[in-house]
């Protein structure tokens, strides 16, 4: 199962890191237009 940035921010114990990840997700115009492919494994 792939881990998205949003899921990673929920799993973080560091409040500052979680906030930075959420900000990147919301405010990054590049991430909003990039296609993502879900992958499993390492």
Neighbour count for residue 38 (Cβ, 10 Å): 8
3-class SS of residue 10 = helix
Q: What is the pLDDT of residue 40?
A: 78
User: What are the tokens at 21?
Assistant: 């990840």
User: What are the tokens at 24?
Assistant: 């990147």
**Phi/psi at 26 (5° precision):** -75, -40
pLDDT in tens, 25-36: 788 888 778 787
**Phi/psi at 28 (5° precision):** -85, 110
Q: What is the pLDDT of residue 2?
A: 64
Q: What is the pLDDT of residue 18?
A: 74
Whether pTM exceeds 0.85: no
pLDDT in tens, 1-42: 566 777 776 776 777 777 787 788 788 888 778 787 777 776
């Amino acid at each position: 199962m792939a881990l998205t940035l949003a899921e990673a921010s929920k799993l973080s114990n560091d409040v500052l890191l979680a906030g930075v990840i959420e900000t990147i997700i919301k405010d990054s115009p590049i991430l909003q237009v990039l296609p993502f492919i879900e992958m499993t494994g390492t």
